[in-house]
Amino acid sequence: MASLGTVVPLQMHFDEALPLRSGASLRDYHLVYETYGTLNADRSNAVLVCHALNASHHVAGVHADDPKSEGWWNNLIGPGKPLDTDRFFVVCVNNPGSCFGSTGPMHDNPDTGRPYGADFPVVTVEDWVDAQARLLERLGIRRLAAVLGGSLGGMQALSWTLQYPDRMRHAVVVASAPNLSAQNIAFNEVARRAIVTDPDFHGGHFYAHGVLPKRGLRVARMIGHITYLSDDSMEAKFGRELRAAELAYSTQDIEFQIESYLRYQGDKFSEYFDANTYLLITRALDYFDPARAFGGDLSRALARAQAGFLVVSFTTDWRFSPLRSREIVKALVDNRRDVSYAEIDAPHGHDAFLLDDPRYHGVVRAYFERIAQEVGA
């Protein structure tokens, strides 16, 4: 299948302050986003794609200055692909607080003229959805054909159905959960402690010190990476394979290939990811919990949703297991909503949602085919 080819990030500035769930607000901010395909005459074929922790607005295609910069969901989105850009107009917005272009902790705080750092206001999934809705309004999109997201992106898709039920037709929620479990929060908290206790973090104002809390970011990423992979896929890929023919008998040198792989992932991540962004995004994950306002009753929480739903989970995903997706499905069924559910037998753990699995992509393709017919795309 053809790829989108070269795509160009766009930017939109917002003068009007964005009120946040914390009580603070974000003023004088900009959002970076990309669009693929063409908005049709009745503006009915727009699909919003929401990104997760370590991703950006750059979902598909490549940037001209870097032919290797393939978008993170390039296997799913493009001409003739499951989300077909020949039929749909696809929008992906970099969320505020991110480190990939939209206003975030490394940008100047208009109140002080210095980088926000740790003073960047705490943002929630709901705040991001508000920011996305504003941008779509500016683009003249009144009603989305669908909102699609995986993991934290799936939480945004779910939140859209509650915050803007009349501005969307469908939600596609992949490898997600209605909230984080205690274990999920625990892993986030360890990662955050690794970052904030790194002496180079300087209380979140490391920019002014000319250093980066790379030690903490490395540890955070290594922990994250373990939770993205299944036990089985790690075993199949690395097992107990040694790096050298003989044991070195060292506590600090690399002995096993899995150590080498994790260190590499951690090093790479610490070069490009912002520590304050890591704190903000993991906190947004922790906070997301639409059932909280309903005493923990997800069925009551989802009563407002009007969208049609496709929910997808992966058997070996232990970060957001199929059980968590089924909670969403059950709550929707309790409300007699239109919901399709697919549990994909895939070995890759949470990462499966980013991979090219024919059954998974077949399900998404079929669902978007249905949406295309509905909106005449």
Residues 180-209 that bind its own copies (CB under 8 A): 180-183, 185-187, 189-190, 192-194, 196-199, 204
Separation CA 357–CA 60 (nearest Å): 17
State the first-to-last Cα distance of the chain, in angstroms, to the nearest integer.
20
Applying CB under 8 A, the span of 65-73, 145-153, 231-239, 362-370 interacting with its own copies comes to: 231-239
Residue 289 binds its own copies (CB under 8 A): yes
| 145-177 residues labelled b (16+ CB within 10 A) or e (exposed) | bbbbbbbbbbbbbbbbbbbbeebbbbbbbbbbb
Amino acid code (one letter) for 71: G
Q: Which is closer to its own copies, CB of 196 or CB of 372?
A: 196
Amino acid at position 265, single letter:
Q
Examine residue 374 and tell whether it contacts its own copies (CB under 8 A). Answer: no
Binding its own copies by CB under 8 A: which of 240, 245, 336, 358?
240
**How large is the angle between the packed helices 275-287 and 214-228, nearest 10 degrees?**
40
Furthest CA-CA distance within the chain: 68
Residue 333 interacts with its own copies (CB under 8 A)?
A: no
User: Locate tokens 């480190």: which residue?
Assistant: 99
Q: Among this protein's residues, is 22 annotated catalytic?
A: no
Q: Is 221 annotated as a binding residue?
A: yes
Residue list 122-151, contact with its own copies (CB under 8 A): 122
Site string for its own copies, 68-97 (x = CB under 8 A): ------------------------------
State the nearest-atom distance from the C-beta of 101 to its own copies, in Å: 21
CA–CA gap between residue 160 and residue 170 (Å, rounded): 10
Q: H-helix or E-strand containing 376? A: none
Smallest CA-to-CA distance from 266 within 303, 214, 308 is with 214
Contact status, residue 74 vs residue 59, Cβ threshold 8 Å: yes
Residue ranges of the annotated binding site are 221, 351
Q: Which residues bind its own copies (CB under 8 A)?
A: 21-24, 118, 122, 179-183, 185-187, 189-190, 192-194, 196-199, 204, 215, 218-219, 222-223, 226, 229, 231, 234-235, 237-240, 247, 249-252, 255-256, 258-259, 262-263, 266, 276, 279-280, 282-283, 286-287, 289, 292
